[in-house]
Structure 1
Amino acid sequence: MTGVPASAPTPDPAPALDPGDRPAPGYEVLGHLARTGWLDVYDAWSEDRACRCVLKTVRPDRRDEAPLRGRLLREGRWLCAFTHPHLVRGYDVIRTPDALVVLETLTGETLAHLLHRLRRRPAATDVALLGVQLCSAIHYLHGRGLLHLDLKPSNVVVERGHAKVLDLSVARPPGPAPPGLGTPAHLSPEQARGGELSAAADVWGIGGTLYETAAGEPPFGRWTATGPDAVAGAGAGVGPSAGPGGRAGAAGGASARGTDTPYPDGPAPPLSARRRLPRALADAVDACLSPDPRRRPTVPELAAALGAVAHRP
């Protein structure tokens, strides 16, 4: 019989740590939570705090890439220095033997996973309250000279109505930025094309997250980094300090100038076309998604508009 023999499975070039391993003094791995393109995320035990925690570290096969190490350590320093009720808390930053960031364990679930699991879409007041909390966290970051630039349902953990924002790995001060910075399906127009970024980019992120929360799909449907790609439902992922989270991408789009990241042409469909909601809420979300950053509300203006809906009798 002739034919080409079946190839053996390609071994993982970077096996994850096993339960019981100690990547740094005082920390014991309990389990492997997730692997991204450059990170490993672990459930761990902190002997000093006598509690569980989350460890983020650069994957073993990419540890010789200095920019990734610097990116992780920078995020860790920020999260350890910041204190806000709607922002994940950092416990520790370890530089040797390998770069390691220690975060609090969050017991809720990512908003992406929650939206995928729920049979009914959240009430309008819950959408508005979520928006108020996101505005609070983003206002805090802006006050410290940072833009988040990656707000999306998989970077928000919710527990009993209390939201926390995750992941400052692409955060940076306002100013010029390369095209495509962030997650392709969640980029503001100015992030997609590159150039000057301001607080308005995060207002877009808040609006996109609220739109998906209210309507059940992103503003432009589901699209991916390589073009239109219809998706049946959210896929599984894991946030840096929470359990499973869904991600979704898609509808047709044109490539942004200077990058191969596709970007939908024209404004997003009005939220009211996807779901009946109080006009004040739908108008606030739509305003966040204006293609012109100058026409979006400021974070305080958005918080006030959403707060009026959230606290309506």
Structure 2
Amino acid sequence: MTETKTGTRAVQLPPLPPGTAVAPGYEVLAHLSRTGWLDLYDTWSEERMCRCVVKVLRPDRRDEPRLRRRLVREGRWLEAFAHPHLVRAYETVESPEPFVVLETLTGETLSHLVHRLRHRMAARDVAFLGLHLCSATHYLHSRGLLHLDIKPSNVVVDRRLAKVLDLSVARAPGPAPPGVGTFCYLAPEQARGGTLSCAADVWGIGVTMYEVATGEVPFDEGETYEVGGDVSDGTSLGSAAGVPAGRSWQSAVGGDGWYPQLEDRAPPVGSRRNLPRGLAEAIDRCLEPGPGDRPTVGELAQTLDGLLPYGRRDVPQEPEAD
């Protein structure tokens, strides 16, 4: 619940109710979710005569220039990009209040699907999902961006089509502060800070396939935190179940540099589920601690494609280095 202080009394700032306008021409049908800095609304667009998702800053974060720029930047990217495995943006408005209009996606997030299914996803579907994630990340890499937050809650699936969401922490390859991304999904180099490359997104693909295949993340999850270094969304972290004894949640999200990815290798996916050997090896290679030991996106796509029954397809190649 969002709160502000008026004297000594906390005043709650609830989401907008249905029937109100979140932005000119967009009537709220329902509030979808609230993060540490954003509200997402299911809306009706008068101009398009259809439902859209509108992403706006939370009322108590609207006066933060950094977050305003971050929202507009993501919207501009998604407006410019066109790919079947990336969510589309229809419109980005910068002032007086910034907002981004996104397509409404049917289906459900992978994180919801993982918890809803009584049985784990079939191995061939895990490989097929991985191909879609490779396709989306290859497209981003070819445009000079790393996603850096590939995880089940940022992937929507519907009728065997996966779409990647959320470019809010995306950035160009190169130096980055520690902790850009989400705590239990960070590649070791993201947790540590330093030079980031396409290999960080290969780790994200591997972690996502691991969780979809087994129902678990490789490391103790506790709460799911988005930290994000210099682009943190300021999420209220709350308690930290799963943090080792003697560590506070502040230290668990990098306050003293502690991340489980920096201390241990990911347990082999085969220790948690019996998978075809080729798929298990592909997932484990994505989770190598050293970025140079992981496959490229193109190599991973080629491996996953070879595991599917329909035969070989063209697979993306890595963009050439400048």
TM-score (norm 2): 0.83
Question: Structure 1 pair 251/208, CA: closer, same or farther in 2 (3 Å)?
Answer: farther
Q: Aligned partners of 1:142 and 1:304: how far apart in 2?
A: 17
- TM-superposed CA distance for 1:223, in Å, is 3.5
Q: Secondary structure at the match of 2:163?
A: strand
Q: How does 1:1-313 map to 2 (within 5 A)?
A: 10-12=10-12, 14-224=13-223, 250=242, 252=244, 259-264=256-261, 265-311=263-309
**Change over 3 Å in CA distance of 1:19–1:258 after alignment to 2:** closer
Asked whether the equivalents of residues 179 and 259 of structure 1 are also in contact (C-alpha less than 8 Å), the reply is no
> Contact 2:184–2:220 at 8 Å: present in 1 too?
no
The offset of 1:258, in angstroms, is 7.1
Asked which structure has the greater RCO (Cα within 8 Å, sep 6+), the reply is: 1
Letter in 2 for 1:148: H
Matched-pair contact (CA < 8 Å) for 2:105–2:156: yes
Contact 2:145 2:171 in 1 (8 A): yes
Do 1:179 and 1:258's aligned partners in 2 also have CA atoms closer than 8 Å?
no
**Is the CA contact (8 Å cut-off) linking 2:30 and 2:41 kept in structure 1?**
yes
Whether the 8 Å CA contact 2:33–2:39 is kept in 1: the answer is: yes
TM-score computed with the length of structure 1 as normaliser: 0.85
RMSD between aligned residues: 2.3
Shift of 1:310: 2.2
Counterpart of 1:188, as a letter, is A
Change (3 A) 1:255 1:249: closer
Offset, 1:160: 1.6
Closer, same or farther: CA 9–105 of 1 in aligned 2, 3 Å: farther
Matches of 1:300 and 1:175 in 2, distance apart?
20
Q: What is the alpha-carbon distance in structure 1 between the residues aligned to residue 256 and residue 220 of structure 2?
A: 21
Distance 1:301 1:120, change over 3 A: same
Residue 256 of structure 1 and its aligned partner are, at CA, apart by 8.5
SS in 2 for 1:73: helix
Decide which moves more: 121-130 or 25-34: 25-34
- CA gap 1:129/1:285 in 2 versus in 1, 3 angstroms: same
User: Any idea what SS the aligned residue of 1:310 has?
Assistant: coil
DSSP-derived class of the 2:23 partner: coil
Would the alpha carbon gap of residues 157 and 250 (structure 1) be closer, same or farther in structure 2, given more than 3 Å must change? farther
Counterpart contact for 1:184–1:261, Cα < 8 Å = no
1:62 deviation in Å?
Answer: 0.8
* 8 Å Cα contact 1:28/1:46 also seen in 2: yes
Alignment partners' CA distance in 1, 2:194 and 2:223: 22
Q: Using a 3 Å threshold, how does the CA distance of structure 1 residues 106 and 271 change in structure 2: closer, same or farther?
A: same
- Residue identity matched to 2:260: Y
Residues 192, 257 of structure 2: 8 Å contact kept: no
Unaligned runs of 5+ residues in structure 1 are: 1-7, 227-247
Distance between the aligned counterparts of 1:251 and 1:211, measured in 2?
21
Runs of 4+ in 1 over 4 A off after TM superposition: 248-261
- For 2:100, the aligned partner's letter is V
Structure 1 residue 97 displacement after superposition: 2.5
Deviation at 1:95, TM superposition (A): 1.6
Q: Distance in 2 between matches of 1:73 and 1:38?
A: 13
Amino acid at match of 1:285: I
- Sequence identity, in percent? 62
Q: Per the alignment, do residues 249 and 90 of structure 1 end up closer, same or farther by CA in structure 2, a change over 3 Å counting?
A: farther
For 2:47 and 2:157, locate their aligned partners in 1 and report how far apart those are by CA, in whole Å: 27
Gaps of 5+ in 2: 1-7, 226-239, 312-322
How many matched pairs? 284
TM superposition shift of 1:304: 0.5
